[in-house]
A and B are shown apart, each in its own frame.
Chain A
């Protein structure tokens, strides 16, 4: 079966712009989680969506938001981009709570 897919894989934006990243989970998975990876802060949890509802949220400013559609695909949006938002954004999908097996390849965002 197809794995977790993320689009786009690479993105370059300038400060002040906004960006939308997409994650398509494994078929049948209803939970999608997002993580940010930076050299300075490491891997940090952004939020989790389950059946179109945000179930859990990390400690990020309100500029970071997300949503999940009825087909379980998820998008995350970052508004008013800052240089510090440059990171690898990883998405993970789960069939069940506690199953953290499946990560996507990530979207690498560079903010100039």
Chain B
């Protein structure tokens, strides 16, 4: 079945450092790809998404590009802030298997001032 693999955390960075969180996927169809963020004690917030190959999703300084040839959707940000500290989840949705999300394990990001 479909699956998502994320780099293990926690990732600890200093403020203004560059961020990359790796995400690769396995899917038989043509999935849409998503990044979600979860702050402590809260639900999930959609950060960005891409629905087809070579699409770039972007929001709040974060971006990720749907790379079909490498089955990847890495999350990047040029300069992180302390407020970016959260758990980040990569996910896919393949409509061949219904309207559901398959999530990666999540990556904890800690940003120090």
Interface of A toward B, CB cutoff 8 Å? 31, 33, 35, 42-45, 48, 50, 55-56, 58, 88, 90, 92, 94, 97-98, 100-106
Contact = CB atoms under 8 A, between A and B. Distances in A.
Contacts, number: 60
B3 to A, nearest CB: 11
Contacts of B100: 33, 45, 48, 56, 58
Interface of B: 32, 34, 36, 42-46, 49, 51, 89, 91, 93, 95, 97-106
A21 B100 CA distance: 19
A100 B46 contact: yes
A15 B49 CA distance: 39
Nearest to B32: A98
Given A103-B43, A104-B43, A106-B43, A98 B99 contact: yes
Nearest to A91: B43
A55 B100 CA distance: 10
